[in-house]
Amino acid sequence: MRIGLLLVAVLALAGFLLVAFVLPQRADAQAKEAVQALIAGAEPARRQVGAIAEKNGNLAGAGRDIKIPMRDDPKHGELKWLVSEGGAIRGWNARNAIEITFTAGLQSGKASWTCRGYPISAMPASCGGR
């Protein structure tokens, strides 16, 4: 009887450790991978917006006709992006509850980008992460 109770206690502890430590770390790693996929997917649009803004000397209309097609990633689910008329790019992944925003700026005729995202724990330092 005691061996049975001890076995149940060990299994319960193992289950607790799995739920409390292993699964969140795995989810965090998956979220970080999904963030990298969102960043990479936005790169062509960032180049296009930057080129248009540098050519025109301002951001007005720089993102007007730029589209980024949705991508259904087998590992991360749907990755989606929207480009605003002013050149800001918003990306998200619902499966991992991730949002990322690239905001364009024009300084001395050159495009520069600011990146922010949520959750902060999944973001690289360049996007406001830790």
d(CA 63, CA 67): 8
Whether the per-residue pLDDT at 104 is higher than 80: the answer is: yes
Domain boundaries along the sequence of the chain = 33-127
Mean pLDDT, range 31-57, rounded to an integer: 95
Residue-level pLDDT at 47: 96
d(CA 100, CA 37): 11
d(CA 114, CA 102): 6
Residue-level pLDDT at 78: 97
pTM: 0.77
Whether the per-residue pLDDT at 44 is higher than 80: the answer is: yes
